[in-house]
Amino acid sequence: MSNQNNLIHARSGRLLLKEFPKLKEQLYKGHLWNKSYYLETVGNISKDTVKQYIENQKSK
C-alpha cells in the first residue's frame, strides 16, 4: 500500500471514529481498514447515478 493510501486511511479513520465512537466496537480487532481494496470503473454514467446506487446499498 502506498504512503498516500496510508495517510488517507489514517486521517479518514480518525475522523470516522471521532464522529462515530461506537463504530470501533463493531470492528475486527478495532481496525477500520485492511490492506486490500476494491476498485471499479463505472463507465459513462452520472455521479448522481453512482451516488444513488451507493445509498441503495445501505438498505440491503
Residues 15-60 pLDDT 10s: 988 998 888 888 877 677 776 666 778 788 898 998 888 888 877 6
pLDDT on residue 1: 53
pLDDT on residue 60: 63
DSSP classification of residue 54? H
If you search the block for the grid coordinates 470503473, which residue do you land on? 41
CA atoms within 13 A on the CB side of 51: 3
pLDDT on residue 25: 82
* Choice between 10 and 29, residue whose per-residue pLDDT is larger: 10
pLDDT on residue 21: 87
